[in-house]
Chain A
Amino acid sequence: MRTSRRHRLHVLTALALVAVVALPLSGCGSGSDGSSKTITVAGSTTVLPIAEIAAEKYEAKTGNQVLVSGLGSSAGIEAVINGTADIASSSRDLTDEEASHELVSTVIAHDGIAVIVNDSNPVKNVTLDQLRDIYAGRITNWKELGGPDLPIELVNRDEASGTREAFRSIVMRGEDFDRSAAVLPGTGQVRDVVSRSAGAIGYISIGFVKSDYATTTVRTLRVDGVEATRDNVSSGKYPISRDLYFFTNGDPQGVAYDYIRFVLSDEMSQTIEDAGYIPVNWDQSGSGDGTSSGGEGK
């Protein structure tokens, strides 16, 4: 009796140990489950609203699961290259290095990047050159732009951000950002910080300038005299605009193909418009493409 109980205790201990050791190992073996209809979309936080709403609607429609995460465009492209994601959402085109990997791109929408300042800031207009000088750290006070004697507080995005990449290629044209700028990892945070600091300047996607959630407001600057509106982006007048992309490793197939087609469908274009972007089929004749790809050239 006593022996058997002791024996049982040992067996239990041994089993527990085996379980602990075996669990990770067994995990190693059963790594892939290709049969399930789940795809992963990773990448740009700018594209997040489109990708997520499309995922919800698509799931409701077909039952296939679409996992969407916003890690930044570069992370998403990296994820597709190394196979951890099926689709990369990106708010910028591929870099030369990324382009060497057989990726197939699909333009899903157009977007403009608004330059935002505090409501109390009287400055109304900047030129692209001034904007570059501001972000390169050469113009450091609003009085140089006809405003009050107030230091300019630069707000930049993190390097994973596609918005930063687009802004860099269109506005900075090969110059480096002033590295003493605050680097914030999210659009909403940039908006919030600018809305509360008199001397701050930042840039966010036009879709986020007005937000139902925010309790504070920001004002957009005209760039080269052009107001940051969707009409001006779609007509190609507004200089800081870009395309939003999906990238896949090779031609999209199966659920991924289906999902991308859904994003491009008429059903989604209203959603894309509501989110502040310009759907592709709406502005076929516009020149959003021209502006943005012209800016990409190095």
Chain B
Amino acid sequence: MSERDDRDQLLEGLQEPPQIGQIEPNKDEALTRSARELKLMDHSTYVKEGILKNLFLACALIAVAAVALIFVFTLARALPVFTDIGLAGFFSSVWAPSEGRYGILALLAGSALVTVGALVIGVPLAVGCAVYLTQIATRRVTRIVSTAVDLLAGIPSVIYGFFGLVVLRPLIADASGGLGFGALTAWLVLAIMIVPTITTLSMDALNSVDPGVREAAFSMGATRWQTIYKVVLPAAKVGIVNAIVLGMGRAIGETMAVLMIVGNAPVFPASVTSPVATLTSQIALDMGYSSGLHRAALFGMGVVLYIISAGLVGIVRIITGKSERREREASRPATPVAEEGTRSVAEGPSRTGSSAAKAQEGSAQLIKSRLANARKPRVSKRATDAAMTGVFSAAGLVTTAILVLIIGFVVVNGAPQITPAFIFTWPQGVNAEGGIFPTIVSTLYVTALATLFATPIAVLAAVYLAEYAHQGRLVDFIRYATDTLASVPSIVMGLFGYAVFVEACGFGLSMLSAALALALLMLPLIMRTTEDAIRAVPRYIRWGAYGLGATKWQVVSRVVLPAAFPRIATGIVLAIGRAIGETAIVLYTMGQAVNLPLTPLDSGRSMPVHLYLLANDGINMGAAYGTALLLMIMILAFNLFARHISKRGARQKGGK
């Protein structure tokens, strides 16, 4: 993935023409308007421009509508449970659908236990890894480890769950004497899963700390550890906290991996090695057969998950907003681009250099006071430094080792299965002998369809946000909605997709239903990368085009979009990678029958679902390994392809 490259390029783009950067984006509009006043633009062009602008706005509002609709539909389907058993009954402790009792407290406790444990293990690893990569490692090592982190982020959750089920669970069963299902197993797997999220965002935060601060600290005699601990980490605190909160959202919303390893006992956990259940796992487990009040209760749990994830995004915005206000006050005259710092919470909380000015002014005092306040060390500072550097390096190493372990596990077990027959024939017989051809086709079919839906809307919405919109309340609101959409747990999107596309629209369990639900997953991902890409296009190119008499749409379609294309393509390819591996959304929107889909209304079974079902059956594990390997190859290929595009784009730009 290329978030860091993106950010760097964005900064470059903003900094390239230093004085010009002070002109606001809506000056563009002023230019267009004055062009019309000068009668350089005829009336029909003006009308067309207006229509296009509103069309783009409509696309941008689709994200807002989606966020609202997901909430409204999920809540509407949940209403019976609130009216029938009431809030008190819903927030009671006994979950026993067969007895008509739908209390979710034990499930909430399960979610909390699993999430907290995952954070306790994952956060030190991830932050340590980020510190190692930004402060300690050589450029070469950074490139290798950060590729590993990006690839870890790309591995679909069903493969993590599969790994947990067949590798970690038996180990923990042997060690504890129990079954091996439970919170402990989930902690280990979820910790691995949230590491990429937290590492990437923490690296953004650490990278945006002015290098001058570090250099100043070194020059005052601080060791590397002292610099990191006393200077760099405090300066990046807000960004790291945001990263952790978003990692937490990821952990709470994770469904498939958790479902496969927690043991699904809806009781308050007796120990960390006894079976528990979480909100997400219970929804996924029960969704297939529930009806009536039971199903309403599942939608109610969806509402709870939605509120939690939207709340976490809100918290991040508040934290970021506060720190940015403070920074703006500290450095009022120097940073005209500060307002752009508030955007894209989920991607990179403090991506602009707004801290730079403050850092330069106050860094000397800051460092002096921080270092002066240090207690007298009991051990020599050199020893501490060596030890802590070792700890951080270990975090980087562990992360890379985990990637190698997981990939190695899948490759070693899966490679013997992969034959042309496995890829090109149908599964047959009691235990799915033979190949997985229809599942490959179904996966590609649904992903292509979802890409077709999501891409135009996402790109045009991003065009609106980056090129047309006044940077104000509306844009802020749209971004908040997009961030929320990005954080909605995929099982909740699955619920929504089922309620709306499968049932209300009457598409049934089909490629179309699943693709529409998947499009909602891809929409915020593509929107965000496209917006970043558009913003990274230097302004003076646009002015050149305007100066030649181009209309706004001409500038956007002929100049800006082509220039931003490599990075937009990168974003789309990454989103495709996410969609291919997505399981929870398609599980109850696409059907599970093995079928070769022809029309969009055909049902089918995607590869992740096939893998999940094979792992459940637990009989033909060979086919499960083979499916896992093929799935991983496809996704890693997409990820590496995305890296390739973004690198080539960067090279071309550099070469010019």
Residues of A within 8 A of B (CB): 6, 9-10, 16-17, 20, 23-24, 27-28, 30-31, 40, 42, 45, 48-49, 52-53, 56, 67-72, 74-75, 78, 84, 151, 153, 155, 158-160, 176, 179-193, 196-200, 208, 211, 213-214, 275
A56–B428 CA distance with the chains assembled, in angstroms: 8
Cβ < 8 Å to A, chain B residues 503-532: 505-509, 512, 516
| Pair B267/A20 contact, Cβ less than 8 Å | no
Evaluate contact between B181 and A179: CB separation under 8 angstroms: no
- B593 pairs with A40, CB closer than 8 A: yes
Known: A10-B48, A27-B507, A200-B179. 14 other contacts (CB 8 A): A17-B55, A20-B457, A40-B593, A68-B593, A84-B509, A155-B179, A159-B289, A160-B288, A182-B263, A186-B615, A188-B619, A189-B617, A190-B618, A199-B177
> CB distance B557 to A9 under 8 Å?
yes
Q: Please report the C-alpha to C-alpha distance between residue A203 and residue B352 in the assembled complex, in whole angstroms.
A: 59
Task: Tell me the minimal C-beta distance from B94 to chain A in angstroms.
Answer: 8
Bound CA span A68–B593, Å: 6
What are 27 A-B pairs at a CB distance below 8 A?
Answer: A20-B453, A24-B507, A24-B512, A28-B507, A31-B601, A49-B431, A67-B603, A71-B288, A71-B289, A74-B289, A75-B289, A84-B509, A159-B97, A160-B288, A179-B265, A180-B265, A180-B267, A180-B275, A181-B275, A182-B179, A182-B275, A186-B615, A186-B617, A187-B618, A189-B615, A200-B179, A208-B619
Chain A positions within 8 Å of B456 at CB level: 16-17, 20
Fill in one digit per residue for B479-510: 1 if any A CB lies within 8 Å of its CB, else 0. 00000000000000000000000000111110
| B338 in contact (CB, < 8 A) | no
Smallest CB-CB separation from A158: which chain B residue? B285
B618 close to A186 (CB less than 8 A)? yes
Q: Tell me, yes or no, whether B400 is within 8 Å of chain A by CB.
A: no
A211/B619 in contact, CB under 8 A: yes
Chain B residues lying within 8 Å of A211, measured Cβ to Cβ, are 619
B599 to chain A, nearest CB (A): 8
Give the CA-CA distance A71 to B287 in the complex, in Å. Answer: 10
Which 7 pairs show the lowest CB-CB distances between chains A and B? A188-B618, A186-B616, A49-B430, A188-B619, A74-B289, A160-B289, A183-B264
The smallest C-beta distance from B463 to any residue of chain A, in angstroms, reads 12
Q: Cβ of A151: which chain B residues have Cβ within 8 Å of it?
A: 177
Residue of A nearest to B286 (CB): A159
- Within 8 Å CB of B48, what residues of A? 10
Chain A CB within 10 Å, residue with most, of B48, B96, B178: B178
Shortest B454–chain A CB gap in Å is 10
| Nearest CB on B from A43, distance (A) | 10
In whole angstroms, how far apart are the Cα atoms of A153 and B10 in the complex?
56
Residues on A with C-beta less than 8 A from B453 are 20, 23
Cα(A67)–Cα(B170), bound, Å: 35
* B512–A27 CB distance below 8 A: yes
Which of B170, B288, B509, B595 gathers the greatest number of chain A CB atoms within 10 Å?
B288
Q: Within 8 Å CB of A74, what residues of B?
A: 289
Quick check: is B620 within 8 A (CB to CB) of the other chain? yes
Which of A52, A185, A186, A190 makes the CB contact (< 8 A) with B429?
Answer: A52
Contact B288 A213 (CB under 8 A): no
Distance in Å: Cβ of B646 to nearest Cβ of chain A: 25
Digitize B97-110: 1 where CB-to-A-CB distance is under 8 Å, 0 elsewhere: 11100000000000
Please determine whether A183 and B275 come into contact, CB atoms closer than 8 angstroms.
yes
Provide the residues of chain B in CB contact with A70, threshold 8 Å. Answer: 592, 613
Docked complex Cα distance between A165 and B19 (Å): 74
Cβ-defined contact, A31 with B512, below 8 A: no
Q: Min CB distance, B297 to chain A, in Å?
A: 13
Using known A-B contacts A187-B617, A189-B617, determine if residue A180 contacts B274 with beta carbons closer than 8 Å: yes
Q: Which residues of B contact A196 (CB under 8 A)?
A: 170, 173, 180
**Cβ–Cβ contact A53 & B430, under 8 A:** yes
What CA separation (Å) do A6 and B45 show in the bound complex?
11
Asked if A158 and B508 make an inter-chain contact with CB atoms under 8 angstroms apart, the answer reads no
Complex: how many Å from CA A10 to CA B52?
A: 10
Distance, CA A13 to CA B188, complexed state (A): 48
Q: How far is the CA of A40 from the CA of B557 in the complex (A)?
A: 48
CB distance from A170 to the nearest CB of B (A): 16
- Give the docked Cα–Cα distance between A72 and B613 (Å): 12
Taking a contact as CB atoms under 8 Å apart, the answer to whether B285 and A198 are in contact is no
Q: In the complex, what residue of chain A is closest to B292 when comparing beta carbons?
A: A97
Among A31, A182, A214, point to the contact of B264 (Cβ < 8 A). A182
A72-B593 in contact given A179-B265, A187-B617, A188-B617 (Cβ < 8 Å): no
State whether the Cβ of B54 lies closer than 8 Å to any Cβ in chain A. Answer: no
Query: Which residues of chain B are within 8 angstroms of A42 by Cβ–Cβ distance?
Result: 593
Please, how many angstroms separate the alpha-carbon atoms of A53 and B594 in the complex? 13
Q: Is B291 interfacial (CB 8 A cutoff)?
A: yes
CB of B96 within 8 A of CB of A176, answer: yes
B265 — nearest CB in chain A belongs to which residue?
A180
A244 CB → nearest B CB, Å: 14
A211 to B603, CA, bound (A): 30
Given contacts A159-B289, A180-B274, A213-B620, contact A69 B592 (CB under 8 A): yes
C-alpha spacing A190/B14, complex, angstroms: 58
Partner of A31, one of B285, B506, B557: B506
Kindly provide the distance from the CB of A221 to the nearest chain B CB, expressed in whole angstroms: 18
Q: Please indicate the chain B residues that have their CB under 8 angstroms from the CB of A40 in the complex.
A: 593
Q: Nearest Cβ distance between residue B621 and chain A, in whole angstroms? A: 7
Contact partner of B592 (CB less than 8 A), chosen from A20, A71, A158, is A71
Docked complex Cα distance between A48 and B619 (Å): 13
A27-B507, A213-B621 given; A72·B275 CB < 8 A: no
A10 partner residues in chain B, CB cutoff 8 A: 48
Distance in angstroms between the alpha carbons of A10 and B633 in the assembled complex: 38
Min CB distance A83 to B, Å, is 10
Q: With the chains together, A28 CA to B600 CA distance in Å?
A: 11
Roughly how many angstroms separate A192 CA and B620 CA in the complex, as a whole number? 12
Instruction: State the Cβ distance, B500 to closest chain A Cβ, in Å.
Output: 11
The reply to whether the CB of B266 lies closer than 8 angstroms to some CB of chain A is: yes
Instruction: Give every chain A residue within 8 A of B557 (Cβ-Cβ).
Output: 9
In the complex, B353 has a CB within 8 A of chain A: no
A161 nearest CB neighbor, chain B only: B289
CB distance from B69 to the nearest CB of A (A): 15
Closest to A10 in B: B48
Within 8 Å CB of B509, what residues of A? 84
For A188, give its contact among B95, B591, B595, B616 (CB under 8 Å).
B616
Indicate if B38 sits at the interface (CB-CB under 8 A).
no
CA–CA, A176 and B618, complex, Å: 27
Q: How far is the CB of A253 from chain B (nearest CB, A)?
A: 21
| Shortest beta-carbon distance from A298 to chain B in Å | 12
User: A211: nearest residue on chain B (CB-CB)?
Assistant: B619
A207 to B603, CA, bound (A): 30
B618 touching A192, Cβ below 8 Å = yes
Contacts of A188 in B (CB 8 A): 616-619
Q: How far is the CA of A45 from the CA of B288 in the complex (A)?
A: 13
Tell whether, in the assembled complex, residue B96 and residue A197 are in contact, meaning their CB atoms are under 8 Å apart.
Answer: no
In this complex, which of B99, B286, B431, B452 has the most chain A Cβ atoms within 10 angstroms of its Cβ? Answer: B431
Separation of A199 and B173 alpha carbons in the complex (Å): 11
A187 contacts across to B, CB distance below 8 A: 617-619
Contact of A159 among B98, B457, B601, B621 (CB under 8 A): B98
Contact A158 B97 (CB under 8 A): no
Which residues from B are CB-within-8-Å of A198? 177
Flag if A180 contacts B289 (CB, 8 Å).
no
In the bound complex, CA of A176 to CA of B100 (Å)? 12
Check if B22 is an interface residue, CB within 8 A of chain A. no
Within 8 A of A (CB), among B19-60: 48, 55
Q: Judging by beta carbons under 8 Å apart, are B430 and A48 in contact? A: yes
Q: Which of B250-286 contact A (CB under 8 A)?
A: 263-267, 270, 274-275, 277, 285-286
Given the complex of chains A and B, what is the CA–CA distance between A10 and B557 in angstroms? 10
B554 at interface, CB cutoff 8 A: yes
Q: Which of B558-614 contact A (CB under 8 A)?
A: 591-595, 600-601, 603, 605, 613
Given contacts A69-B593, A71-B288, A72-B289, contact A182 B616 (CB under 8 A): no
Q: B289 contacts which chain A residues (CB < 8 A)?
A: 71-72, 74-75, 78, 159-160
Complex contact B179–A153 (CB within 8 A): yes
